Structure 1
Amino acid sequence: MHPRLLKTFLAVARSRNITRAAEVVHLAQSSVSDQILALEAELGAALFTRAKSGLELTPAGLALQPIAEDLLRLDGEARAAVQAAAGSTSGHLTIGALETIASARLAPWLPGFQAGHPDITVRMKVAGSGALLRQLEDGDIDVAFCFDRRDFAKGASDKHFARRTIAAEPLVLVAAPGQGSVPGDLAALGELQFVATEPGCIYRHMFDTAFAEAGAAAPRLANEVGSIGAIARLVAAGAGLALVPRLAVPDALARGDIVEMRWPGQMRTAPLVMIWRRRRVQLPALKQLLTAARDTLVPALQPAKAGSGLESSNRSKALFAKNS
């Protein structure tokens, strides 16, 4: 069974749809159908059956699915072992990231990494946290850069993924210029209007968690929007307050479109992590990228200013030491 056929089979099994699977594996729908037929002919059994809700795995398909996942993992490990034994440091890597991390952290950093590692070709994909983890599971990306969340699924995922926290990104309370002071406690702050991303987004998770952990009621939302950029513009227009990672709004803060306000209580941070698949032998190119990202991706944070909410560089270093 060729790995290409197994990858297509898994894409169909997970999406239960030929069209969506074709988008995942970057093939025409007809090619996906042909590959499934070829795999069924090789194995002598039907792998899918049609249902009202989409394609469903037959008993033969259900039996093949975990084995196909193991075979693709072994295929990747075999390639990594051969490259390591041959002393090769070249290769192609695909990294995935949230849009804010890609623009604020990876875009300034990648040219320097590639200048120092000209034999490594890097591609970057931008997606949400859930999509990044699915792409990592499917082998479409080699490493994901995102914000960690405490309710991340444990169990099987922990067996497949390794992760490292590389920074504690400060969360900031932002408002329109001229907003004036904000209440000194979260209960009163929660009575004001806020702008936040939609449920399911990592930034919404940060927002909800900040109030829930303090035992405060969730604030009223003036708007739910799909991007941090839209949040910054709405806040600047006076729609409400927002709680966002500072790295997502540096330009708006620098221009004075929005201003940072004091957050009542303990300072909030968002762990910036890189996640990759566990392998007995890791791709040499990926090892170099992980090492470089750990050492140079996030600049040291400046010492905290009174009322600014900035974390000290010592805290960032201590967090990394704890999670490395």
Structure 2
Amino acid sequence: MHPRLLKTFLAVARTRNITRAAEAVHLAQSSVSDQVQSLEAELGAALFTRSKAGLELTPAGLALKPVAEELLRLDAEARAAVQAAVGQTSGQVTVGALETIASARLAPWLPGFQARHPGIIVRMKVAGSGALLRQLEDGDIDVVFCFEPRHFAKDTSDQRFARRTIMAEPLVLVAAPGKGTAPGDIAALAKLRFVATEPGCIYRHMVDTAFVEAGVDAPEIAAEVGSIGVIARLVAAGAGFGLVPRIAVSDAIARGDIVELPWPGSARAAPLTMIWRRRRVQPAALRQLLAAARDTLVPTERSGAESTKHSNALFANSS
């Protein structure tokens, strides 16, 4: 069974749709159908059946799915082992990141990485945490950079994945200019209106957790929006307060569009974490990127000594 056919089969199994599978593997729909039929002919069994909900795996397809996943993992590990044996350091690595992290942390850092490793091609995918982790699980992404507050991990017991905290990004309370000072305690702050992302989003979790951990109910949400950029604009217009990573709103603060207020409690921070699939042999390109991120992806606003000290302390305490 050719790995190409297995990859196409798994794409159809995940999407349950030929059109979406074709987009995922960058093939024409007819090519996807031909490859599935070739695999079915080779195995002598139908792998899919049609239903109102889309394509469903047959018993034969269900039996093939975990084996196909393992075969593709072995194929990737075999290639990585050969690359390591001959000292090859080139290749391609696909990075997934939240929009905030991609623009504020990875975009300034990646040119330096690529200058040091010209043989490595880096592809970037930007999406929400849930979508990124699904793509990592499916093998479409090699490493994900996301915020991971306590108790928000998808499944910290899942031994298929490794994770490493790189740094802690400060969370800041922001308001429109002229709003005055924030209340002196969290209970009073919880009675005010906030602007946040939708439930289920990692940024919304940051807001809710900040109050729940202090023993008070989460505040009333004046507006639920899809991005931190919109949160900043609504806060600037006076729609409510916001609690967001400082890196996401540093430009708005610098321009004076919004102001940072003291948080009435212990400082809040969101760990910036990279997550990747465990392999017996990591591809050279991914290994180089993980090492570089560990050593050099630090906040530019800190002094070099402080950044290194902070990053090393987080690594010492991370899983």
Taking the aligned partners of 1:199 and 1:21, their CA distance within structure 2 comes to: 29
Q: Which stretch shows the higher mean deviation, 157-166 or 220-229?
A: 157-166
Q: What residue in structure 1 maps to residue 152 of structure 2?
A: 151
2:299, 2:307 within 8 Å by CA — same for their partners in 1?
no
Change (3 A) 1:32 1:244: same
Backbone CA RMSD of aligned residues: 1.8
- Helix, strand or coil: the match of 2:209? helix
Q: After superposition, what is the alpha-carbon deviation per residue over 1:184-236, rounded to whole angstroms, capped at 9, x for unaligned?
A: 11111111110001112111111111112222111111110001100000000
Structure 1 residue ranges (4+ consecutive) displaced by more than 6 angstroms after TM superposition: none
1:100, 1:247 within 8 Å by CA — same for their partners in 2?
yes
Taking the aligned partners of 1:126 and 1:11, their CA distance within structure 2 comes to: 20
Change (3 A) 1:283 1:76: same
Q: After superposition, what is the alpha-carbon deviation per residue over 1:42-71, rounded to whole angstroms, capped at 9, x for unaligned?
A: 111111111122211111111011111101
Residues 142-181 of structure 1 mapped to structure 2, 5 A cutoff: 142-149=142-149, 150-154=151-155, 158-181=158-181
Q: What residue in structure 2 maps to residue 306 of structure 1?
A: none
TM-score by length of 1: 0.93
Residues 204-215 of structure 1 mapped to structure 2, 5 A cutoff: 204-215=204-215
1:302, 1:313 within 8 Å by CA — same for their partners in 2?
no
Q: What residue in structure 2 maps to residue 259 of structure 1?
A: 259
C-alpha displacement of 1:301: 6.0
Residue identity over aligned pairs, in percent, reads: 78
Q: Which stretch shows the higher mean deviation, 226-235 or 127-136?
A: 127-136
2:77, 2:282 within 8 Å by CA — same for their partners in 1?
yes
1:10, 1:68 within 8 Å by CA — same for their partners in 2?
yes
TM-score by length of 2: 0.94
C-alpha displacement of 1:110: 0.6
C-alpha displacement of 1:299: 2.9
Q: What residue in structure 2 maps to residue 289 of structure 1?
A: 289
- Helix, strand or coil: the match of 1:141? coil
Q: What residue in structure 2 maps to residue 308 of structure 1?
A: none
Partner AA of 1:204 in structure 2 = R
Taking the aligned partners of 2:183 and 2:39, their CA distance within structure 1 comes to: 64
Q: After superposition, what is the alpha-carbon deviation per residue over 1:147-166, rounded to whole angstroms, capped at 9, x for unaligned?
A: 114232327x7221111100
C-alpha displacement of 1:117: 0.9
Taking the aligned partners of 2:11 and 2:208, their CA distance within structure 1 comes to: 33
Q: What residue in structure 2 maps to residue 48 of structure 1?
A: 48
- What runs of 5+ residues in structure 1 fail to find an aligned partner? 304-310
Q: What residue in structure 2 maps to residue 235 of structure 1?
A: 235
- Helix, strand or coil: the match of 1:194? strand
C-alpha displacement of 1:141: 1.7
C-alpha displacement of 1:300: 6.6
Asked if 1:18 is matched to 2:18, the reply is yes
Q: What residue in structure 2 maps to residue 60 of structure 1?
A: 60
- What runs of 5+ residues in structure 2 fail to find an aligned partner? none
Q: What residue in structure 2 maps to residue 322 of structure 1?
A: 317
1:300, 1:313 within 8 Å by CA — same for their partners in 2?
no
C-alpha displacement of 1:317: 3.5
1:97, 1:132 within 8 Å by CA — same for their partners in 2?
yes
C-alpha displacement of 1:315: 4.8
Equivalent pairs, count: 316
Taking the aligned partners of 2:173 and 2:224, their CA distance within structure 1 comes to: 17
Partner AA of 2:315 in structure 1 = F
Taking the aligned partners of 1:153 and 1:175, their CA distance within structure 2 comes to: 31
Residues 184-199 of structure 1 mapped to structure 2, 5 A cutoff: 184-199=184-199
Partner AA of 1:274 in structure 2 = M
Residues 78-117 of structure 1 mapped to structure 2, 5 A cutoff: 78-117=78-117
